[in-house]
Amino acid sequence: MDLQADKQVPLALQWTDEVGNPVDAPEGATAVYTVDDPTIINLTDNGDGTATAAAVGTLGTATVHVASGDLAGDLAGDLAIVVVAGLAERITVVAGDPVEVTPDA
């Protein structure tokens, strides 16, 4: 998913069977969220199967990983988050290289 550099997004789990049909969470399932690059995404694992991924301002890609241990076995999933520039909010005046106004004789 794309996420603007000044935004955050809530994350939640959706359990599916092997062909993608939604199913209830396995009995006793717990989940732990991690992120591979905290310089791009600040990840908060809420400890209840949800998390918040917040862009820290640096553009790039970070992968959120979630792993679950339960009675049915170990399950895992990933979400790639591409942090992109936000909307225009400021104007900066940029000066070019100075040039001679009056030619030297």
pLDDT at 14 over 60: yes
Residues 45-65: tens digit of each pLDDT: 999 999 999 999 999 999 999
Contacts 24+ apart (CB under 8 A), 41-48: 41/81, 41/83
The token pair that represents 37 in the structure block:
């690059």
Compute the average pLDDT of residues 73-81: 89
Looking at per-residue confidence, does 30 or 11 come out higher? 11
Report the C-alpha gap between 85 and 67 in whole angstroms. Answer: 30
Report the C-alpha gap between 80 and 82 in whole angstroms. Answer: 6
- Residue-by-residue DSSP string for 84-102: E----------------SS
Q: Count H helices and E strands in the chain, helices first.
A: 0, 7
Assigned architecture for domain 2-84: Sandwich (2.60)
